[in-house]
Structure 1
Amino acid sequence: MCGRTGLSLDKEQLRCACRYRDKSLNDYVKPSYLTEYNDGKEYSPSFNIAPTDITPVLVSARNFQKDSDAGQRILKPMMWGIIPPWHKGDYKSHKLTTNNCRIENIRYSKLYSPILNNGGRCVIVAEGFYEWQTTIKTKIKQPYYIYMKQDFTQPVDDNCQPTSCHTTENVWENKRLLYMAGLYNVWQDSENKNIYSYSVITLESNEVMSWLHDRMPAILECEQQIESWLDVDNVPAEKALSHLLPAKNLEWHPVSTIVNNSKYKSSDCNKKIDLESKVKSSQKPLTEWFKKANKRKSEHEIDHDSVKRKL
Structure 2
Amino acid sequence: MYGRFYLKNDKANIAKQFSVGNPLNSKTSYNITPSQNCTVVRLKKNESELANLSWGLVPSWAKSDVKIKPINAKAETIKEKPYFRSAYKKQRCIIPASGFYEWKGSKGNKQPYCIYPLNDPCFGFAGLWEKRNELETFTIITTAANELMSEVHHRMPVILDSKDYDTWLKDGDYKSLKPCASEEMGMHMVSSAVNKPSNNGAELITPVGL
- Whether these two folds match at TM > 0.5 is yes
Q: Distance in 1 between matches of 2:51 and 2:159?
A: 19
Aligned to 1:45: 28
* Amino acid in structure 2 at the alignment position of 1:115: A
1-structure distance, mates of 2:108, 2:57: 32
Q: For the residues of structure 1 that align with 2:8 and 2:136, how far apart are their CA atoms? A: 21
User: After superposition, where does 1:287-306 map in structure 2 within 5 Å?
Assistant: none
Check whether the contact 1:127–1:177 (CA below 8 A) recurs between aligned residues: yes
Residue identity over aligned pairs, in percent, reads 29
Q: For residues 256 and 265 of structure 1, what CA distance do their matches in structure 2 show?
A: 12
Which structure shows the bigger proportion of residues in strand conformation? 2
- Report what 1:129 is aligned to: 100
- Bigger radius of gyration among the two: 1
Aligned residues: 208
State the partner residue of 1:7: 7
- TM superposition shift of 1:242: 1.2
Q: Is 1:203 matched with 2:136?
A: no
Q: How far is 1:3 from its partner?
A: 0.7
Q: SS of the residue aligned with 2:148?
A: coil
Q: Tell me which stretches of 4 or more aligned residues in structure 1 moved more than 6 Å.
A: none
Amino acid corresponding to residue 206 of structure 2 in structure 1: K
The yes-or-no answer on 1:181 pairing with 2:114 is no
8 Å contact from structure 2 (residues 59, 131) kept in 1: no
User: After superposition, where does 1:112-127 map in structure 2 within 5 Å?
Assistant: 112-117=84-89, 119-127=90-98
Give the whole-Å Cα distance in 2 for the aligned partners of 1:199 and 1:15.
Answer: 25
Q: Deviations over 1:33-54 (max 9, x none)?
A: 479xxxxxxx532100000111
**Matched residue of 1:47: which SS?**
strand
Q: Deviations over 1:106-151 (max 9, x none)?
A: 111111001112x21000001000000006xx9611000001114x
What's 2:192 paired with? 257
- Would you say the 8 A contact 1:33–1:75 is kept in 2? yes
The alpha carbon displacement at 1:20 in A equals 5.4
1:180 match: secondary structure: strand
Q: Report which of the two has the higher share of helix.
A: 1
Please name the residue that 1:217 is paired with: 157
Q: Which residue of 2 aligns with 1:287?
A: none
Are 2:205 and 1:270 equivalent residues in the alignment?
A: yes
Residues in 2 aligned to 1:144 and 1:73: alpha-carbon distance in whole angstroms: 32
Alpha-carbon distance, 1:253 to partner: 0.7
Give yes or no for contact 1:7–1:127 (8 Å, CA) kept in 2. Answer: yes
Please say if residues 37 and 52 of structure 2, whose CA atoms lie closer than 8 Å, have aligned partners that are also in contact.
Answer: yes
Aligned to 2:67: 95
Aligned with 2:15 (options 11, 15, 18) = 18
| Gaps in structure 2 of 5+ consecutive residues | none
Query: What's the secondary structure of 2:198's corresponding residue?
Result: coil
Find the aligned partners of 2:50 and 2:185 in 1 and give their Cα distance.
24
- 1:200 alignment partner, SS class: strand
Q: C-alpha separation between the residues in 2 aligned to 1:59 and 1:30?
A: 10
CA distance 1:20–1:259, change in 2 (3 Å): closer
Aligned to 2:114: 145
Structure 1 CA distance for aligned equivalents of residues 70 and 58 of structure 2: 8
Q: Which amino acid aligns with 1:259?
A: V
CA RMSD after TM alignment: 2.2
Specify every segment of 5 or more residues in structure 1 that has no aligned partner in the other structure, as ranges.
22-28, 36-42, 63-69, 151-174, 189-193, 276-311
